[in-house]
Amino acid sequence: MFDLFRQVERGLDRSKGGLGIGLTIVQRLVELHGGQVEAYSDGLNKGSEFLVTLPLATSDNAVEVQTEQTHPGTVCCKRVLVVEDDEDIAETLSLLLELAGHQVVIVHEGSGALAQTKEFQPDVVLLDIGLPGMDGYEVARRLREQSPEITLAALTGYGLESDRKRAEAAGFNAHFVKPVDMEALRIFVNEC
């Protein structure tokens, strides 16, 4: 139940359910603070109970956390540009990448991606293929001309081998099929 993008089957009364990210975000935030989350239920229509346990904060703990965050060898903060026309997906990606220590800027269309790349100078661009107006392939080609060293990752619902080859020809370094495996994406961004 704490897996990203997992939901209980939707019925007609829940036609506008969420993205299945809430419990994942809660769990990751609690774990970042050294705690844990447990869930209990007696079954269908009997409610749910969520227990969040956090360690008691002391001044020693605060110093230890600061030391860990600045210790050499920890994940380096990357500047990540998320180009995604679906606002919920964009916000989700942004939040999860920020939790991993990265700086994130979101734009929702191709021309914004080109302008924001000049201003923000991202290390990585996560680029939706199905954008309105200028599609992700064209944005990728233009970004390659503008910033040849930039790392580009396609975010798409198209996962055939021909789609991967088209993305590679447009200049993408990686190809992620939606719903994106967040652990694989996190590793990719960390290693860029």
Cβ contact 82:93 at 8 Å: yes
Q: What does the longest C-alpha to C-alpha distance in the chain come to?
A: 58
Q: Of 25, 29, 31, which is closest to residue 4 (Cα–Cα)? A: 25
Q: Which residues contact 176 (CB under 8 A, 6 or more apart)?
A: 126, 153, 154, 155, 156, 184, 185, 188
- Quick: pLDDT tens for 15-72: 445 555 677 777 777 777 788 888 888 888 888 888 888 888 665 555 444 434 433 3
- Quick: pLDDT tens for 110-137: 999 999 999 999 999 999 999 988 999 9
Label the pairing between strands 49-53 and 36-40. antiparallel
Domains annotated on the chain, with CATH = 1-71 (no CATH), 79-191 (3.40.50.2300)
pTM of this structure? 0.65
Give me the mean pLDDT over the 168-187 stretch: 91
Using pLDDT thresholds of 50, 70 and 90, give the confidence band for residue 138: very high
